Structure 1
Amino acid sequence: MSMTSADTEITRIEVGEDLGARSIAMRIFRAEPASKHPAFVWFGGYRSDMTGTKAVELERYARAVGTDCVRFDYSGHGASGGDFRDGTISRWVEEGLAVIDHAAVARMIIVGSSMGAWIALRLVQELRRRGEAARVAGLVLIAPAPDFTAELIEPNLTAAEIASLAERSYFEEASEYSPEPNIFTRALIEDGRDNRVLTGPIETGCPVHILQGMRDPDVPYTHALRLMEHMPADDVVMTLIRDGDHRLSREEDIAKLKQAIGAMLLKA
């Protein structure tokens, strides 16, 4: 019996050295025969993992069109090792680069959800710095949250949260997606300032499709509009979903995701 998307075998790589070493879990689907299409690469959101609805549906779509798919968990997430409280954007970008290099992804369409869109944008910057911009054939950004620590969290910190950051180096807030609270560390916030992308023009050199719900309680759709304004040189399409929430995991949302990716395959 062939494996379902969620059952694709987990493989691991070690990223970092000494005390910074962590085991990163990934699921790599290889199309047979080998595909000429770009691979799909999944970058999940804050506290999500590679077995979520959108990630699994992405691999199912890769199987349907006959191309490769790479999913992975950041350190401190899902099946990967490491403490979540040690996580920063820089660490997670480093892990993303290590995964696509290990998987030998020659060309890819990156699908980044929420925080994963920020990490995807930083990864593109790093690839361009390495002279490897041609590896990215397209970006699909779902409810993108670039610079969310500086733009959405810091301006809204309460006095109690500021005190907690000073005294305990983190603060907690209730999550509507999990019984466990969200944890935001001082390291994440400080590192976030060093990884901001909304400080000037963003040039990806590839088509970009943004999917954004207008009823998103976590990342307002105006944030996605602002991101679009920072991409004057790119071929950017935005789909605003009037009744869409932050997750965009409904059947009709997944259909829009597949349509966006399918359109990019025609351009690749």
Structure 2
Amino acid sequence: MTQHQPDKSVDAADAAGEILVGVGEKTRRIAYRKRDGRAPTLVWLGGYRSDMRGTKAEFLLDFAVQHQLGFCRFDYSGHGESGGTFEEGTIGRWSAEAAAVLQSLDADNPVILAGSSMGAWIALNLIRRAQSFGIETKIAGLLLLAPAPDFTERLILPKLDAAQRASIETAGRLETPSQYAAEPDIYTRDLFEDGRANLVLDGPIETHCPVSIIQGMADDDVPYEHALTLVEHLPQSAVTLSLVKDGDHRLSRPQDLTLIGRILADLVEAAGKMA
């Protein structure tokens, strides 16, 4: 893994840089943006096919600037400004990239992971495999927005008909219409197979840090019952779940962002007490 210094010519509040992850033919360039600040550092983990320039990521940057916190966001391979091919992406691959970004940050600063949708799965996967990733002392809190852990197995597969399942097995991929883009969503056989190797709802998830979950009850992609299932797998007491009755999957309306900011402030305070 090779790390490059941030480009200081970019807005000093959110400087750009990149790291190289992987070896040989599997090497890919991961673009990130970060700002230095006091601990804890907020780290944004985006969702499936999203990028680091989205509404919630920009809101977190503003929050970090307002509170003088460190902040980091990045694009998974095949997403946004990063290199690599999207169809080669898997939960394990994207988790390794997230871990590499965490390893590149100040070793003395704890982090709060803010994961949206698939990003929440990545966050929980980092927690479950923190020791193997070498980040077991870094994570001081989790903010999970419309969390979709194990979505390939629990949310997508049950909805597929026989022809769609056959397409995954024979063609190695499935295309479905997207609600958020003109291009279809692409789910590969590798994504499903790797997903089974990275399930987090197969037992208790010991986070050893506070966890805050925000879930819309009008979410068409991730039913709010999925968030309740996640809570059942978080045995420690420092877990809060906020249900937004009219909230959708994006949770990007002004009132949603206000709620995110209020809950994030509590997590930052809790992380400070743990330090």
**TM-score interval (norm. to shorter):** over 0.9
1:83 maps to 85
| Aligned-pair CA distance for 1:130 | 5.9
1:239 maps onto 2:226 in alignment:
no
Work out which of the residue numbers 14, 19, 23 in structure 1 matches 2:20. Answer: 14
| Aligned-pair CA distance for 1:232 | 1.4
1:26 maps onto 2:28 in alignment:
no
CA distance, structure 1, for counterparts of residue 21 and residue 135 of structure 2: 20
Any gaps of 5 or more consecutive residues in structure 2? 1-8
Amino acid at match of 1:66: Q
What does residue range 89-168 of structure 1 map to in structure 2 within 5 Å?
89-105=91-107, 106-129=109-132, 132-168=135-171
Amino acid at match of 2:34: I
Shift in alpha-carbon separation, 1:182–1:130, aligned structure 2, 3 A: closer
Amino acid at match of 2:148: A
What does residue range 146-225 of structure 1 map to in structure 2 within 5 Å?
146-225=149-228
| Aligned-pair CA distance for 1:256 | 0.7
What does residue range 35-46 of structure 1 map to in structure 2 within 5 Å?
35=38, 37-46=39-48
Q: Is the 8 A contact 1:212 1:241 kept in 2?
A: yes
Work out which of the residue numbers 233, 246, 268 in structure 2 matches 1:265. Answer: 268
User: What is the TM-score of this pair, normalised by structure 2?
Assistant: 0.91
Amino acid at match of 2:123: A
CA distance, structure 1, for counterparts of residue 100 and residue 236 of structure 2: 28
State the identity %. Answer: 48
| Aligned-pair CA distance for 1:46 | 0.2
CA distance, structure 2, for counterparts of residue 108 and residue 42 of structure 1: 10
| Aligned-pair CA distance for 1:184 | 0.2
- Give the 3-state SS of the residue equivalent to 2:57 in structure 1: helix
Moved more, 167-176 or 120-129: 120-129
Any gaps of 5 or more consecutive residues in structure 1? none
- Give the 3-state SS of the residue equivalent to 1:134 in structure 2: coil
Q: Is the 8 A contact 1:110 1:136 kept in 2?
A: yes
| Aligned-pair CA distance for 1:233 | 1.8
Q: Is the 8 A contact 1:26 1:71 kept in 2?
A: yes
Amino acid at match of 2:76: Y
Q: Is the 8 A contact 1:205 1:234 kept in 2?
A: no
- Give the 3-state SS of the residue equivalent to 2:80 in structure 1: coil
Q: Is the 8 A contact 2:128 2:200 kept in 1?
A: no
Amino acid at match of 1:217: D
| Aligned-pair CA distance for 1:141 | 0.1
2:70 maps to 68
CA distance, structure 2, for counterparts of residue 24 and residue 130 of structure 1: 17
Q: Is the 8 A contact 2:43 2:71 kept in 1?
A: yes
Shift in alpha-carbon separation, 1:90–1:131, aligned structure 2, 3 A: closer
- Give the 3-state SS of the residue equivalent to 1:27 in structure 2: strand
Give the aligned CA root-mean-square deviation in angstroms.
Answer: 1.6
CA distance, structure 1, for counterparts of residue 115 and residue 185 of structure 2: 20
Shift in alpha-carbon separation, 1:132–1:72, aligned structure 2, 3 A: closer
What does residue range 39-54 of structure 1 map to in structure 2 within 5 Å?
39-54=41-56
**Could you give the per-residue CA deviations for residues 66-112 of structure 1, whole angstroms, max 9, x where no partner exists?**
01100000000000000000000000010001001112353011100
User: What is the TM-score of this pair, normalised by structure 1?
Assistant: 0.94
Runs of 4+ with deviation above 6 angstroms: none
